[in-house]
Structure 1
């Protein structure tokens, strides 16, 4: 459960000021980077204080929040055996489909080897 947020008088006094858009981001001036007037944490606190006190942040000059990025949905990695299973099964199926030709080649090679080992002369 969220607790009630109490804001300091310093922060609440900032609700009465008007800001320019340049005060909320770093500026490159005369070859140097100038930090923003309010840090991102202070900007967030100021935005929250505006919501609590029902003040529109855009009236004060506070820029709108950038849209949230959509996270890329990555498929789970899983185990390597599970990832490579379709390829292995396809390879096995192709070997089974080609099995009659493989057996015929093996038998022919075996007969040729047997014939080669047989002597030419009968004695």
Structure 2
């Protein structure tokens, strides 16, 4: 921290940012926590907007720019997200339902064992 306060304004500006050295990023000279402390002290001392080597301060150019983000819609619950597909699937199934009901009723009638007169008529041979 003392080394940082001895730097010129240009050197201090570079010391606040990470640097790319031989393809690898090197950490800033002082951490973000320490940067926040330097800024708070500058605000308390009224030295924001100026930099004096040995005493410190803070320049507005050193403030990090906040990223502009676009709000994404909330993800919601899975059943709410899939509701449209589910409704389409149900409507498609309901369109074929009358035919399926008729086939089912016919299968039920066909599956019943033959009783009474029908059985007797089927067993006896016609003349």
**What's the TM-score, normalizing by structure 1?**
0.49
Higher strand share: 2
**What's the TM-score, normalizing by structure 2?**
0.48
